[in-house]
Amino acid sequence: MMLARLALLPLCLAAALPLHAQAPARRLAVAPDASIRILNLAGSIRVTGWDRDSVLISGAPPPGGGTLLAGGSERGVKIVVEADAATDLRGTDLEIRVPRGARLWVKSATATIAIEGVTGEVEASTVTGAITVRGAPAVLVAESMEGDLDITAPARVSRLKTAGGAITVREAANEITATSVSGPIRLLDARAVSSGRIESVSGRLLFNGAVQPGGSLDLQTHDAPIDIFLPARQGAVVEVTAFGGKAINRIPGLASSPGKGKALQYRLGNGRARVVARSLKGDVSLRQQMTRPNP
């Protein structure tokens, strides 16, 4: 292993090296927690964590479509596709394996981004490409202007943002912030949210899952509906403020009492979690989680 690393070291320390279209997969030795920065504007980027201290890069631009540059050191690697012309829309499909604990930074314009099995910090950003993340990154920051975010990655901290794209999060846990302007946001099978802020202007919000005892969840829209599905055993104080819309309670036997301002308050079980939902014009509905949990 050490000999292999030494043999690869000159490659890693050299300035960025062009990889041509016909080149086979390239491998760079890195530390288990190295920073990996990837930029590929169009096409696709697939990153998979593996249990090796190296980065493996497959894929290359089409002939005349640009140059793939990769280089850096044991602590950090940069992988960049430089298009020959800004108008070249053919794109490059990259497949990259990185150490599981790597810190990952991925950026695209239209390229789709798929990340799986990385446990370090992950930051992914795109304009119109979709972002998919699977696994358990320590921290996840994902952002798009129009692309959808599809996340199944219960990170310690998640910050997700789109303007017009949809955000879907499965098995959300811990601390999560998800915001959009017009895109819908759905949290499905949320397991144990300790602190959540889910906010949109005109995108519909759906929360289906559990909030930790002592945890808090805030949901807010301007004119879109908010649907909240809580498990039967959820203990929470739920405050609902629907100014122009309706507050709809579909939990059998649950009565409301006046809360702060115009809010209606509902107490579930021991009331140890706090859920707040407010909308200026949208309806807010409160329901018990169904046997089939994801409507």
Partner 1 sequence: MNCNELRDRIDDAVSGRLAPAELAAVEAHADACAECRSDLEAARALSIPLAQLPRAIEPPPAVWHGIEARIRARRRRTLPAIAAALVLMAASSAATVLIMRDTPSEVAAAVPALEADYIEQAAALSGVLGAERGRLAPETIETLERNLRIIDEAIAESRAALEADPGDPDLRLLLRASHEQKVALLEQATRLAREL
For 107, 149, 160, 225, 289, the CA distances from 203, given in Å and listed in that order, are 25, 14, 14, 8, 21
Amino acid at 141: V
- Binding residue for partner 1, selected from 41, 140, 211, 284, defined by CB under 8 A: 41
Closer Cβ to partner 1, 59 or 196, answer by number: 196
Contact pattern from residue 173 through residue 212 relative to partner 1, giving x for each residue in contact according to CB under 8 A and a dash for the rest: -xx-x-x-xx-----------xx-x-x-xx----------
- Subset of residues 108 to 167 that bind partner 1, contact rule: CB under 8 A: 109, 125, 127-128, 143, 145-146, 157, 161, 163-164
Burial 162-195 (b: 16+ CB within 10 A, else e): bbbbbbbbbbbbbbbbbbbbbbbbbbbebeebbb
Is there a contact between 65 and 90 (Cβ–Cβ < 8 Å)?
Answer: yes
- Subset of residues 86 to 105 that bind partner 1, contact rule: CB under 8 A: none
- How far is residue 15's CA from residue 69's CA, in Å, rounded to a whole number? 9
Owner of token pair 């053919």: 90
40 binds partner 1 (CB under 8 A): no
- How far is residue 13's CA from residue 28's CA, in Å, rounded to a whole number? 10
Least distance from partner 1 to the Cβ atom of residue 181, Å: 4
For 166, 197, 250, the CA distances from 177, given in Å and listed in that order, are 14, 5, 26
Number of residues that bind partner 1 (CB under 8 A): 38
Least distance from partner 1 to the Cβ atom of residue 180, Å: 9
| Of 154, 290, 272, nearest in space to 229 by CA | 290
User: What are φ and ψ of residue 5, in 5° steps?
Assistant: -65, -45
Least distance from partner 1 to the Cβ atom of residue 264, Å: 12
Amino acid at 116: E
Contact pattern from residue 241 through residue 260 relative to partner 1, giving x for each residue in contact according to CB under 8 A and a dash for the rest: x-x----------------x
SS3 (DSSP) at 50? strand
- Subset of residues 261 to 290 that bind partner 1, contact rule: CB under 8 A: 261-263, 278, 280-281
Closer Cβ to partner 1, 58 or 182, answer by number: 182
Structure token digits, residue 245: 């819309």
- Subset of residues 44 to 73 that bind partner 1, contact rule: CB under 8 A: none
Which residues sit at the interface with partner 1, rule CB under 8 A? 41, 107, 109, 125, 127-128, 143, 145-146, 157, 161, 163-164, 174-175, 177, 179, 181-182, 194-195, 197, 199, 201-202, 216, 220, 222-223, 241, 243, 260-263, 278, 280-281
